[in-house]
Amino acid sequence: MAKIMIQGTGSSVGKSALVAALCRIFKQDGYSVCPFKSQNMSLNSYITLDGKEMGRAQVLQAYAAGLQPEAYMNPILLKPTSDKKCQVIVNGKVYSNSTAMEYHNMKIQFKDMLKEHFQNMEKQFDIIVMEGAGSPAEINLRDRDVVNMGMAELVDAPVLLVGDIDKGGVFASLVGTMVLFTEEEKSRVKGTIINKFRGDVEILKPGLNMLEDIVNIPCVGVVPYFYLALEDEDGAVEFNTKVTAPIDIAVIKLPHISNFTDLDALKIEEDVSVRFITSVEEFGTPDLLIIPGSKNTIEDLLKLRECGLERRIKEYSETGLTIGVCGGYQMLGKLIKDPYGVETDVKEVEAMGILDIETVFEEEKVTTRVNAESIEEFNTYKDDNSTENRKLNVYGYEIHMGVCNYGKSAQPLFKIVDKNGEKVNIEDGAINTKGNIMGTYIHGVFDGVDFREYIINKIRLQKEMKCKASLTYENLREKELDTLADIVRENMDIDKIYDIMGIRR
């Protein structure tokens, strides 16, 4: 079994995308390959087929490797709930709600578990592509590290160190990181990578030669800056704020926004612009307003109230098309209760009152993969602008601790027919009597063609535009992963990487 670890000089240097690229390259070359990130901090999470929670970055990497995502690919997931607290997910299930110091003191106890996971993976796969987190040169965290050099040492993995030239200072960041390593850590670094390069690589070559002389490590690639329709790596997303296409979708950028990957499928519609807003001044006149998920629904609701956005949302929703997902769905209701202090010390708060529902937070988190269909038939539009009444199929996953109760003027939006492979008949979401306000707990609700196509064609018709058939998101993702692999294969010394892993081809 071979392994390679991608570490970076800091957050958002492109580690996640490079791991995905290598997973796809090794798969294309005929190897069984698996991604692994021992600890991920992200509010973008995913539910596996067996109902476990993991980071979205490893999900994309699993798809790149041709695998179904599994929680062992990301055994520890940290979901911040405030500046100093986070929910700790271990092996896909909630382990604790801890302060930063509490987690720092406890994480060393997970080393045996992480090593066992890795050893089990070694028996199943030809290659494991590992990812670090943030910077490996955080010298104050070295003694308890379980995600960067601490993990590399635990499983004796060689390391490639990535720097982001687009930010500037890439040579200083690479050299500075190496300076802060111990001699043993330095010996693990077998190559450097310059990522997100724009321009003529010939101009860069003198710097590469000097870098190799300084750190005595070869540069194994200069990867150009690219944009593909793939999920952004954790924390690296640039939230667009401008209207760039005829259909204007505005998303409330909540302080604790989570699972904003729910919006990725909307971005593949060529006439759709998805922008994020944080103030009344940025609101404008969108064709669709989306309130996304939140890791702290009550606190984020109070922030919207404080800055005036709640009032503007309520005004817009009198006639405008509005959709809330998970925490955003809860905010649209009349009341949110938190009797067990799941999110905050606030036991009860009045919500926006746009949908006739009430939410109560329970102690146990719901984490399920679901298939569902709309309760009612919708008047759907075809690409010749003809119409057809039919029920809409959706799929996705639930991650929530709230349970919603319906009032008289709200009806369920969907009927869940499958949960984690078990046939069920459970109501989900809500829709008002006018049909312009909807909410759901189903993350990924736009990934399937049916609901996304219905919503966008409804807007197109209102704007006297031609209706269109929507693209299948999964097919596009596969093509983009192949393109990512092509870019990286062309600009990195893959033979050298095989050599570093001890694979002779």
Count CA within 13 A, CB hemisphere, residue 247: 26
**What is the fold, at CATH topology level, of the domain defined by 247-472?**
Rossmann fold (3.40.50)
CB contact at 8 A, 290 and 250: yes
Q: Out of 219, 326, 404, 467, which one is annotated catalytic?
A: 326
Active site residue 326: yes
Q: Nearest-CA neighbor of 224 among 495, 494, 490, 481?
A: 490
DSSP class of residue 492?
B
For 41-73, write each residue's pLDDT tens digit: 998 899 999 999 999 999 999 999 999 999 999
For 263-321, write each residue's pLDDT tens digit: 999 999 999 999 999 999 999 999 999 999 999 999 999 999 999 999 999 999 999 99
Instruction: Identify residue 476 by its one-letter amino acid code.
Output: L
- 128 pairs with which residues across the strands? 3, 34
* C-alpha distance from residue 224 to each of 195, 229, 488 (Å): 6, 16, 9
Q: Out of 117, 256, 400, 443, which one is annotated catalytic?
A: 443
Checking if the pLDDT of 237 tops 80, the result is: no
Instruction: Identify residue 48 by its one-letter amino acid code.
Output: T
2-38+58-68+110-230 and 247-472: identical CATH topology: yes
Which residues have CB under 8 Å from 80's CB, separation 6+? 41, 43, 86, 256, 295
For 424-449, write each residue's pLDDT tens digit: 999 999 999 999 999 999 999 999 99
DSSP class of residue 302?
H
The label of the residue with tokens 């860069």 reads: 204
| Rounded mean pLDDT, 100-107 | 92
Checking if the pLDDT of 468 tops 60, the result is: yes
Checking if the pLDDT of 385 tops 80, the result is: no
For 394-433, write each residue's pLDDT tens digit: 999 999 999 999 998 889 999 999 999 999 999 999 999 9
| Rounded mean pLDDT, 221-249 | 85
User: Nearest 5°: phi and psi at 91?
Assistant: 55, 40
Q: What is the pLDDT of residue 68?
A: 97
Q: What is the pLDDT of residue 235?
A: 53
| Domain locations in the chain as residue ranges | 2-38+58-68+110-230, 247-472
Active site residue 443: yes
* Residue 59, both tokens: 């999900």
CB atoms within 10 A of CB 435: 13
Checking if the pLDDT of 234 tops 60, the result is: no
* Residue 34, both tokens: 């698996």
Architecture of domain 2-38+58-68+110-230: 3-Layer(aba) Sandwich (3.40)
Segment (H or E) for 88: strand 85-90
